[in-house]
Structure 1
């Protein structure tokens, strides 16, 4: 039995390491056109940055960077991963300041441009402590500043998310549904809730003060995430039954937020020793895998068809 279990763990370990390298390769390949657009079409890139919907998606690039950095560190490549994590963290903070600033000094936005995509900058801030754990012991000299940076990330990201959540909920309740093309963005709300729960558990390990309070707060975030998961499924089914749900790159909004929620479910289940929570997370993982496969196949298909 032990040999079978160790063999399974070995196979899963090899698969996970292969996925780490695959993710890193895909990230750097996609980073090339992302950067080239700023060089060849700066006006278009700038227009997107100032747009009330597309501006928020600029935060996805540095979020991907810090996640890739964390994965590389877990695979033993800390020398490459730590500088990548620092660059990604600086870019996360830059977009988290700049995008809200544009709204503050602007002339207002149309209610129809308010979508859960607005949660991306704050979720980026909460992803910092989610991804920072492999780098905490690197330097005792900078450990205090490093921990402060991660607490800043969660604090700023969480309260910014709360403010934006009230605005988005107001839009959901008082106005019509979003266009079908934007329907997958409903799932984005799982991102800050899932990432926030895991971030709190990581923060409790970085600075052992108020550990139990942080863990309980993580459990609360997970609870709200569970409510939102059910709501996101119901809204998606409403689009499928009564409207339509055409494929677009927005379908990737099904993936990362749900992945963050699955990670949070597993982490909360382990932290509190509740097998039922962990088992529920494993069940939701199969939904995540199915959505990932469907979205990946559709993306390849539409890419090949131009």
Structure 2
């Protein structure tokens, strides 16, 4: 882009004209023109670590402190990124418009911002309430959930509409990023039930419960429509670049999130519509267990293919954040089944997946910071 928005502080003095500074030694500038909606994946991936830690059905020393620290970090990341995107949308309006209207590979990434809002809002209620108070936590989650849900619905309807009317795409080249817009309402349906006990009894609670069931259905059926297309595209055209291999983990997102949703809805049914409670609990187990079973199968497949790509020289990219949020939804889904069944196998599964999540988050976070510092993500 034409002009830098942010620069590194205290640049080194300029060398004399007769001794030009080597390119590698020049202070790098950060251009927010390259800041796309995919950067919200870092917020999603950080928020799910805190949420997974809070849901984990095992007591570990320091787990609560760790969850709160990561939640604070997710809040900071969200605020900073929202401010940076505001600058981007103001100063690079044409580029942002092209990202959405003309570039289908970028347009699908607009599914990330609403999920980031929803993840941080849920963490504020479940992790941050002891720090800021229950009242402020409920208010913050209600605002973030409402904004995230409206955003999710707009994306889930708008991006497919653009694919039909404007984008030049081929279903034979579909990849897992196509799932991002349609899965966003499913995330809203999974995280909204936590607000039910904090609403007035009667109609408000029932409305929220039924609304979350509707969001669950909108996201799930949307995923079921897109997922076969994605698999056909993978089989027919393969992934065009090694750096896209981590996106295979995105398939875990709707699997883990739907299992999380039915368990969260079962918890919310009791205070909202007591007569629905037993049926909701049965659905949580009978739906959640098979879906997580397929999730574990896909996890093994995706891990094997990523190991193959890593050996072939897979470079770092923001796609690596696909290692985090989808795995985190598997953690919360398994934790919900452990909570409702008492079965030790689900507890062990949640704990093992959480260990994998933390490792993936730590590695990806360090690599992201290094790439930003080295000017390889937002270079000027």
TM-score (norm 1): 0.91
Q: Which has the higher contact order (CA 8 A, sep 6+)?
A: 2
Alpha-carbon shift at residue 147 of structure 1 (Å): 1.8
Which region of structure 1 is more displaced relative to structure 2, 117-126 or 262-271? 262-271
Contact 1:59 1:92 in 2 (8 A): yes
- Could you report, residue by residue, the CA deviation over 1:118-164 in whole angstroms, capped at 9, with x for unpaired residues? 11122211111221133113133422322222111110111110111
Equivalent residue for 1:269? 338
Which region of structure 1 is more displaced relative to structure 2, 89-98 or 12-21? 12-21
Between Structure 1 and Structure 2, which shows a larger proportion of helix residues?
Answer: 1
Q: How does 1:89-104 map to 2 (within 5 A)?
A: 89-104=149-164
Matched pairs, number? 298
C-alpha distance in structure 2 between counterparts of 1:10 and 1:286, whole Å? 14
1:136 to 186, 196, 205: 196
C-alpha distance in structure 2 between counterparts of 1:34 and 1:129, whole Å? 26
Alpha-carbon shift at residue 56 of structure 1 (Å): 1.4
Contact 1:117 1:185 in 2 (8 A): yes
* 1:191 equivalent in alignment to 2:220: no
Runs of 4+ in 1 over 6 A off after TM superposition: none
* 1:18 equivalent in alignment to 2:69: yes
C-alpha distance in structure 2 between counterparts of 1:268 and 1:277, whole Å? 6
- Could you report, residue by residue, the CA deviation over 1:56-87 in whole angstroms, capped at 9, with x for unpaired residues? 11121111111111111222221222112211
SS of 1:47's equivalent in the other structure is helix
Alpha-carbon shift at residue 90 of structure 1 (Å): 0.8
* 1:69 equivalent in alignment to 2:121: yes
Equivalent residue for 1:86? 146
TM-score (norm 2): 0.74
Contact 1:53 1:114 in 2 (8 A): no
| Unaligned stretches of 5+ residues in structure 1 | 1-7
| Unaligned stretches of 5+ residues in structure 2 | 1-58, 130-136, 270-275, 376-380
Equivalent residue for 1:54? 106
* 1:159 equivalent in alignment to 2:221: yes
- Could you report, residue by residue, the CA deviation over 1:170-192 in whole angstroms, capped at 9, with x for unpaired residues? 11222233311211100001111
C-alpha distance in structure 2 between counterparts of 1:253 and 1:53, whole Å? 15
C-alpha distance in structure 2 between counterparts of 1:105 and 1:145, whole Å? 34
C-alpha distance in structure 2 between counterparts of 1:267 and 1:145, whole Å? 23
Equivalent residue for 1:3? none
C-alpha distance in structure 2 between counterparts of 1:10 and 1:183, whole Å? 35
CA distance 1:30–1:200, shift in 2 (3 Å): same
CA distance 1:214–1:9, shift in 2 (3 Å): closer
Equivalent residue for 1:4? none
* 1:149 equivalent in alignment to 2:200: no
Alpha-carbon shift at residue 32 of structure 1 (Å): 1.0
Contact 1:247 1:298 in 2 (8 A): yes
Contact 1:52 1:113 in 2 (8 A): no
RMSD between aligned alpha carbons?
Answer: 1.9
SS of 1:142's equivalent in the other structure is helix
